[in-house]
């Protein structure tokens, strides 16, 4: 039995390893070094295109928890990352060249791996894993648009920051919907004129992430970062996402000069996204400037916002929780293209796909990772997120199901992580 994997990036390499070690023949298609995306530079597989950090190793953080899960599940890429680590405090940072070299040589040591160099423009027949990443080549994107449907393939993402509910000051903020319609799904952060003017001034002067040449402003027309909107004029935000009409204080019935709205991000309602606040401000500036929003002065940011070039699909429409195409069970999508966001998340999806493609071709039942694990919570998000305005997701504690309570967040998160490790170890036995 043979499996074709398109793209030898983070997801494709992890997926390949999971199949190769089971003795499955793998055709690994990679366009490098014949053709490079605008961000890829190195001839080796599994290239880290930007930062060399794979986030924290602390299991009380989402990134640390996910990496430990991947270690339990025998991830080749996390093993290589551990071997290529450079000192970075509690984070796992790697020597990027050694890392890519090591992953490449480990994969090449398998006799059942067949590397097919060159750009893929149409999918091969049979079992296929598409793992061509956020910078999938244009020709392949065109044929994928036919497969997925034009409306379900996107080319940039616009992510608003997420804050924890417990960090919002409800002496200032209040729940309620515009014109009182709805079920109090929103939290409102109201501005006086002075507060708004101060916020506006800081926002238009905030430090922006340096975009790559290929991420020109045209790419982001549909996403409109909040700071770009603000720069259009002092009142632009008040006629957009900060529109105050129809929002009154439930006790005093008072209206406001401007209002930022927060919308529930997860079913449990302990995380909220700041509506319309997709941004290219640096993380430090997001923390400083968004804390000027009344009620968010002590905000804990679970995820920061971003706006960047990213090819990804509308996963809730197209995939099931096994990253398998609903319309064709022989095709899987792994990595950033599937709608996960980040290095370790791409590795995680590649691993899950590798395990279940093997299960599919050997007539075994699929591993169904529960939502109490980070690896399962990510695929659950892809399956169940709203398909309207679907946005990619990185690992975060807000998507993991649990019943733990503790005032100390680190203690609570450690319990969540340990429970997940116990579940995964049991699944393997
Ligand atoms: C500019 C940029 C910076 C990023 N920085 C970070 C960061 O700092 N931290 C983080 O956590 N995440 C970052 N990401 C997001 C993401 O985690 C990484 O892009 C990650 O590498 C995605 O893994 P992947 O396996 O899905 O894709 P990739 O690792 O990009 O692998 C895809 C592979 O497919 C190949 N390919 C593409 N098209 C074809 C084709 N038609 N035929 C054959 N091969 C093809 C590519 O050459 C590539 O090797 C960044 C993304 C971008 C675009």
Q: Are 395 and 302 contacting, i.e. CB atoms less than 8 angstroms apart?
A: no
What is the residue-wise DSSP string for 301-337? EEE--EEEEEEEE-HHHHB-TTSEETTEEEEEE-GGG
Rounded to the nearest whole angstrom, what is the distance from the C-alpha of residue 243 to the centroid of ligand 1?
Answer: 37
CA 254 to centroid of ligand 1, rounded, Å:
49
Say if residue 31 is in the same domain as residue 15: yes
Q: Which of 304, 320, 350 is the last residue of a domain?
A: 304
Dist. CA 309–CA 50, nearest whole Å: 13
Q: Is 327 exposed, middle or buried (0-12, 13-18, 19+ CB in 10 A)?
A: exposed
Residues 138 and 169 in one domain: no
pLDDT of residue 233: 96
Are 319 and 408 contained in the same domain?
A: yes
CA angle 301, 303, 309 (to 5 degrees): 140
> Is the C-beta atom of 267 inside 6 A of ligand 1?
no
- 352 belongs to a structural domain: yes
- 126-135, pLDDT tens digit by residue? 999 999 999 9
71 and 22 in a common domain: yes
Cα end-to-end distance, the chain, whole Å? 26
**Do 210 and 261 belong to one domain?**
yes
From the number of C-beta atoms within 10 Å of its C-beta (0-12, 13-18, 19+), residue 129 rates as buried
Question: Residue 409: which CATH number?
Answer: 3.50.50.60
Same domain, yes or no: 258 and 377 = no
pLDDT digits (tens, 9 = 90+) for 171-187: 999 999 888 877 788 99
Show the DSSP H helices in 73-117 as ranges: 76-83, 96-108
Q: Which helix (H) or strand (E) holds 412?
A: helix 409-428
| CA pair distance 300, 169, nearest whole angstrom | 11
Cis peptide, bond prior to residue 33, ω within 30 of zero: yes
Residues of the chain with pLDDT under 50: 219
Tell me: do 8 and 151 sit in the same domain: yes
Do residues 224 and 188 both lie within one domain?
Answer: yes
Q: Residue 361's domain spans which residues?
A: 2-157+312-421
Centre of ligand 1 to C-alpha 336, Å, is 7
Say how many Å lie between the CA of residue 414 and the centre of ligand 1. 30
The reply to whether ligand 1 has any atom less than 6 angstroms from the CB of 392 is no
Q: Which of 344, 271, 288 is nearest to 56 (CA)?
A: 344
Integer Cα distance of 270 and 67 in angstroms: 24
Q: Which residue's CA lies nearest to atom 13 of ligand 1?
A: 342
- In this predicted structure, what is the pLDDT of residue 134? 95
> Which of 370, 367, 383, 393 is closest to 323 using CA atoms?
383
Domain presence at residue 138? yes
Task: Decide whether any atom of ligand 1 lies within 6 Å of the 30 Cβ.
Answer: yes
pLDDT of residue 267: 67
> Using CA positions, which residue lies closest to atom 27 of ligand 1?
133
Measured CA to CA, the distance from residue 165 to residue 163 in angstroms comes to 6
Instruction: Quote the pLDDT of residue 219.
Output: 47
Query: In this structure, how many other beta carbons lie within 10 angstroms of the beta carbon of residue 428?
Result: 10
Query: Which of 276, 304, 332 lies at the terminal end of a domain, its last residue?
Result: 304
pLDDT number for residue 413: 95
Task: Flag whether 348 is in a domain.
Answer: yes
Asked if residue 271 lies in contact with residue 398, where contact means CB atoms within 8 angstroms, the answer is: yes
Please check whether residues 222 and 321 belong to one and the same domain: no
Separation of CA 9 and ligand 1 centre (Å):
6
* Pairwise CA distance, residues 145 & 262, whole Å: 33
Residue from 4, 8, 9, 11 whose mutation best tests the ligand 1 pocket (most atoms within 8 A of CB)? 9
Instruction: Work out how many domains the chain is built from and give that number.
Output: 2
426 within some domain: no
**pLDDT tens-digit map of 199-257:** 999 999 999 987 777 665 554 555 789 999 999 999 999 999 999 999 999 899 999 99
Domain identity same for 217 and 344: no
Q: Environment class of residue 423 by beta-carbon count within 10 Å: exposed (0-12), middle (13-18) or buried (19+)? A: middle
């Amino acid at each position: 039995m043979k499996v074709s994997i398109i793209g030898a990036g983070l997801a494709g390499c992890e997926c390949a390893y999971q199949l190769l070690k089971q003795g499955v023949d793998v055709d690994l298609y990679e366009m490098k070094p014949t053709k490079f995306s605008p961000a890829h530079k190195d001839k080796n597989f599994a290239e880290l295109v930007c930062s060399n950090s794979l986030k924290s190793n602390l299991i009380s953080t989402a990134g640390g928890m996910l990496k430990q899960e991947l270690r339990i599940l025998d991830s080749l890429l996390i093993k290589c990352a551990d071997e290529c680590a450079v000192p970075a405090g509690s984070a796992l940072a790697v020597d990027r060249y050694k890392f890519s070299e090591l992953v490449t040589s480990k994969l090449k040591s398998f006799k059942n791996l067949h590397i097919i160099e060159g750009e893929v423009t149409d999918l091969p027949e049979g079992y296929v894993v598409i793992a061509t990443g956020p910078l999938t080549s244009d020709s392949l994107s065109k044929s994928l648009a036919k497969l997925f449907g034009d409306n379900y393939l996107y080319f940039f993402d616009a992510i608003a920051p997420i804050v924890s509910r417990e960090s919002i000051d409800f002496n200032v903020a209040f729940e309620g919907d515009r014109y009182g319609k709805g079920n109090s799904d929103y939290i409102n952060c109201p501005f006086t004129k002075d507060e708004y003017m101060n916020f506006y001034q800081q926002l238009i002067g905030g430090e922006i992430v340096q975009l790559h040449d290929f991420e020109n402003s045209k790419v982001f027309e549909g996403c409109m970062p909040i700071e770009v909107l603000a720069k259009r004029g002092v009142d632009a935000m008040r006629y957009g996402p900060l529109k105050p009409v129809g929002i009154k204080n439930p006790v005093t019935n008072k209206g406001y000069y401007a209002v930022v709205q927060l919308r529930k991000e997860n079913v449990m309602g302990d995380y909220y996204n700041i509506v319309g606040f997709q941004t290219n401000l640096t993380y430090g500036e997001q923390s400083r400037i968004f804390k000027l929003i009344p009620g968010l002065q002590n905000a804990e940011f679970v995820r920061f916002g971003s706006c960047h070039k990213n090819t990804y699909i509308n996963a809730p429409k197209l995939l099931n929780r096994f990253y398998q195409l609903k319309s064709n069970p022989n095709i899987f999508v792994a990595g950033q293209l599937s709608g996960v966001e980040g290095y370790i998340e791409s590795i995680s999806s590649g691993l899950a796909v590798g395990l279940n493609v093997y299960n599919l071709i050997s007539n075994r039942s699929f591993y169904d990772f529960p939502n109490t694990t980070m690896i399962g919570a990510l695929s659950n998000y892809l399956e169940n997120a709203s398909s309207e305005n679907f946005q990619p997701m990185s690992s975060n504690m807000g998507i993991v199901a649990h019943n733990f309570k503790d005032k100390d967040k680190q203690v609570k998160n450690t319990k969540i992580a340990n429970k997940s490790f116990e579940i995964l170890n049991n699944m393997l036995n």
